[in-house]
Each structure stands twice: as C-alpha cells, then as structure tokens.
Amino acid sequence: MGKTIYPLVRDGFDQIAEAFEVVNARVNEDSIQISATRAFAERWLMPRLSRFNAIHPDVTVHIHGSEKTVDLSADDIDLAIRYGPVDTDQEDSVILADRYIAVADRGICPADRVPTIEDFRERPLLAYKWENRALNAPDWSAWLALVEHNQTIDFRISWYSEEMLALYAAECGLGPLMCSNVLIDEELRTGRLRRIEGPCLPGFSYRLVEMSSTRRKKSLDLFTQWLREEARSFRDKSAVTD
C-alpha cells in the first residue's frame, strides 16, 4: 500500500511546491525594496508615493529608512537613494542636489518684512548631529560668516540628535533652523516656514544606487522612471531659486 501511495503523495507535494514558487516569483516581481535616509523618505518621497501607487497599483513599494549605508545584496534592497558628495563617474545617477538655507516657523517671524537673523536673538539656533560623520555638512558658523550681524553677542545653539527632531522643533517655533531646501520645499510654498534673509550654502546630492542583477525587475524600472520624473519636476518648481 505504502509503495503505491508514496509516488502519488510525492508528486502532489512537488506540484504544490511548484505552485508556491510561481506565486512567490510573481510577488517578488511586483514588489520592490527602497532604502533612503529617514528624512528624505518622510519629507520628500512618501508625500509623493501615492502618485506612483495610483499609476502602478500592482507594484508594492517597501521603504527602508536608515542613515547607514546598507548592503543592497545582504539586505535584499533593490534601490538605494544615497545622500552625499558624488564623483564625476556618478553624476548620471544623481536625481537631486540640495542647498542649505535658514528658515523659521512663520509664527515667530515678523509679519511685515523678510526676517533677518537678528530677529531671533532671544531664541536658540537649532542644529542637529549628523549620524554620518564623514559628511562635512554646512553649519551655522559657515552661514553666519556670510551674514551681517552683531558679532559681539554669540547666538545660543540648541542641539538635536536627529535631523527629523530638529525639523519638527523648527515647525513648533522653537527657533530658526538651517536645513536642506529639498526637505522643506512644501513648507516654504505654503508659508508654514519662512526663509531668513541670507545665503544658500551648497549641500550634497541624492543619487540612485541599484543592486546589480542579470534579470532586472520591470517594477523597478517603472519606479526608477517615475522617481526621475518626480525629481525633474521638483527641480523645475523648487521654491528656492538663488
């Protein structure tokens, strides 16, 4: 009896396994893993993601937010959006380049004119620690060196352990913040944050890094094309023009 039943049971399990492989292959093909810094994912990517979902409802996008450089193959990441300086041979992968400006919540700015840094003497300047110590990011001292102000009185600086905390503190009206224009473009457009009179300091670039594969996912092609188009539209409409 056992010898008779075994081939039938074995063949049945083999067919079930093959069916699961087909399903898993389809699921993997229709889903993509995206890695980005938490600030970029929350402030720039996620507010736009519904537009991609509307165009491609069958593609599932997974977001991995981290300040650390991930190993694409080890972490099963299809596409990483990296932030930092770029070499000449990496320029084709760049989608955005940012600039640093000083801003403050409109509630603590003068209503009848452009705010200056002297308007915030009673408040601390907000700043944050970079988790990636290799980035020599623009800071308040570099910005203040280019602005006329009373240099006999030092500003106080209130430090935050993360960029997102500092951004939230600025939106709560705790003080002015110098940050990337890419992360606050919508707030500048709506007037929730106002730019403080002063220079733009050069920042870094956002570039795409993909996992090398002999068989490229169609869903990844769709997402990458959409992302480049969104970045192009952002560059054309950016609220910061100088």
Is 218 within a domain?
yes
Same domain? 115 vs 52: no
Q: Map residue 80 onto helix, strand or coil.
A: strand
Residues 6 or more apart whose CB falls under 8 angstroms from that of 32 comprise 59, 60, 61, 62, 78, 79, 217, 219, 220, 223
Is 82 within a domain?
yes
Domain count, the chain: 2
Is 230 within a domain?
yes
Instruction: Indicate the residue type of 191.
Output: G
Long-range contacts at 46-50 (CB < 8 A, ≥ 24 apart)? 47/186, 48/230
Is 242 within a domain?
no
Q: Give me the pLDDT at residue 78, please.
A: 94
Q: Give me the pLDDT at residue 11, please.
A: 58
Q: Which CATH number does the domain housing residue 189 bear?
A: 3.40.190.10
Q: Give me the pLDDT at residue 19, please.
A: 40
Structural domain span for residue 84? 2-95+205-237
Same domain? 88 vs 101: no
d(CA 186, CA 69): 27
Same domain? 197 vs 111: yes
**Burial (CB count within 10 angstroms: exposed 0-12, middle 13-18, buried 19+), residue 214:** exposed
Averages of pLDDT over runs of 10 residues in the chain (242 residues) are: 55 46 50 94 96 97 87 81 91 95 98 96 93 79 92 91 94 97 94 97 94 77 96 88 62
Same domain? 177 vs 232: no
